[in-house]
Amino acid sequence: MTNSLTIDELDLKLLQALQLDGRVPFSTIAELMGVSAHTVARRYQRLRASAGLRVLGRPGPASTSGRPRWMIRIRCAPDAAVTLAASIARRADTTFVALVSGSSEVICVLETTDEESAASLLLHRWPRIPSILAITAHRLLRTHYGGPDGWCSKIGALTAEQVAALRPPAGYLGSGPHPRLDDVDRILLDRLRGDGRAAHGALRASVRLSEPSVRRRLHRLRDSGALYFDLQLDPGQLGYRTIALLWLTAAPTALEAAAHAFARHSEVAFIAATTGPSNLVAAVICRDAEDLYTYLVQRVAAIGGITRVETTMVIRQVKQLV
């Protein structure tokens, strides 16, 4: 069993602050929290070492517009599941990989450049792998929570005034014009994919531009919605040891309202409308199995229009959902 860290209010505030703006200076956080920048930096390094905390740059909707996203359920031989999941996680076009259902099923989110690429992979390449017994593909139609939004933004440790001070300018939410990405933009996106808090000097060395030019590039990418920053961490280290995927069926007239209701739940890290037998899929994070049960019988049951719920427990998260 995963042993959780001793997490205090400052840790929670730091996580929520980084979810709001992954590149916010530690000095800014420190001033708002009434502590030293050294204290904030030390807490950040502790969470990196013990909870797997990472700030990662993600391609936003403006840079992935038109790219098909699929949630794939792969039933496989149990003795091959771990190896298969690791192989799928190494693919650049997967953004989530997990072992579920007693390690005989692998679930992943696949983001391809076009429909033909997805069809080739799903119809020809993966079915030829002997250990794969069955594949079910669900096209994600609309994400109602996830992506630029993150689970840590629901922690609620910050005051409304602190949230307002930390939240990036409105333009960073993707209201600016969509850019035409060039090779330099792609290098920056790739560099930030591994470390969203990479210093401007390190980024400058990667693209051989001046530091002010790098700053302007980052501002333009964020302003357009081509880039956002997300947190990766092990919820188990914060005391949340149960992750589950809910495959939900809602009446068509209730679909939109149900999705918005789920998005407001503190347990929900991701929810999207999807094709297939279920028309919504959600990722929920709970403290334990009892907490999940309470969530299902109280909060899920209270949402109107839901006619069916299938719950699959995540045994191991290999690649984090975005």
pLDDT tens, residue by residue, 285-299: 999 999 999 999 999
Q: Which of 308, 268, 301 is nearest to 260 (CA)?
A: 268
The answer to whether residues 225 and 61 touch, using CB atoms and an 8 Å cutoff, is: yes
Asked whether this chain's domains 9-60+154-232 and 63-140 adopt the same fold, the reply is no
Q: What pLDDT score does 114 carry?
A: 81
* Count of alpha carbons within 13 angstroms of residue 99, beta-carbon side: 18
The token duo for 85 is 């999941």
Q: What is the DSSP letter of 122?
A: I
Q: What pLDDT score does 319 carry?
A: 87
Q: What pLDDT score does 320 carry?
A: 78
The token duo for 66 is 């038109």
The answer to whether residues 58 and 227 touch, using CB atoms and an 8 Å cutoff, is: yes
Question: Cα separation of 322 and 50, whole Å?
Answer: 21
Whole-angstrom distance between the N-terminal and C-terminal Cα of the chain? 25
pLDDT less than 70: residues of the chain: 1-5, 61-66, 169-179, 321-322
* Biggest CA pair distance of the chain: 58
Q: Please, what's the b/e burial string for 98-128 (b: 16 or more CB within 10 A of its CB; e: otherwise)?
A: bbbbebbbbbbbbbbeeeeebeebbeeebee
Helix axes 211-224, 200-207, angle to 10 degrees: 100
Render pLDDT for 78-109 as a digit per residue (tens, 0 to 9).
899 999 999 999 998 898 999 997 779 999 99
Q: What pLDDT score does 176 carry?
A: 57
Q: Which residues contact 158 (CB under 8 A, 6 or more apart)?
A: 13, 16, 17, 166
The residue whose two tokens read 């391809």 is 112
The token duo for 89 is 């996680």
CATH class as words, domain 240-314:
alpha beta
Considering the domain delimited by 63-140, tell me its CATH architecture: 2-Layer Sandwich (3.30)
Question: Cα separation of 272 and 73, whole Å?
Answer: 15
Q: What pLDDT score does 64 carry?
A: 59
Q: What pLDDT score does 197 carry?
A: 96
Boundaries of every domain in the chain: 9-60+154-232, 63-140, 240-314
Domain 9-60+154-232: assigned CATH number: 1.10.10.2890
